[in-house]
Amino acid sequence: MARKSPSRLDMRKQVEAADALDEAAVKEKKPRKAAAPRVRKVKEKPEIRKRLIWIVYSGSMKEEGRFPYHERAAAEEKIEQLKLKSKKLYFIQPLKEIIGEDGVIVPVVSGSLDLDDEPVKPKKKVAKKDDDDDDDSSSEPDDDDDDDE
């Protein structure tokens, strides 16, 4: 037998009852307190002073000369002189040097940093024994503890 669908009136009563429960639940909830604004601590970065210099490099990145920023023409003259001596490639590149306290210039070293003061020692090669030797007297004795019984 086919099941009789609920009447529209019954369905409407069910929906209104569900809405009434939802409204009661909403009224019971307390509103949240507004969160206090977070204050971020700003780290004060030390003021780093820099100066720009022009560096004349060869094609193999060998430094040929350093010139202050306002002497770019002198750096270009140096390139022309070097080109007259040899037909290698020379170019100018700017570099920002850090100026430390009391006007002391901190040298910038391009390349890898040497973290260790000691030089790296190469490992010694260990000579391998030939497997063809069947001389057991030179090898270490086996640890067979079964014979002690």
User: pTM for this structure?
Assistant: 0.43
pLDDT at 38: 86
Summarize pLDDT for 22-44 with one digit per residue, the tens. 776 666 666 677 888 888 888 88
Cα dihedral 85→91→95→97 (10° resolution): 0
- Report the 10 Å Cβ neighbour count for 56: 22
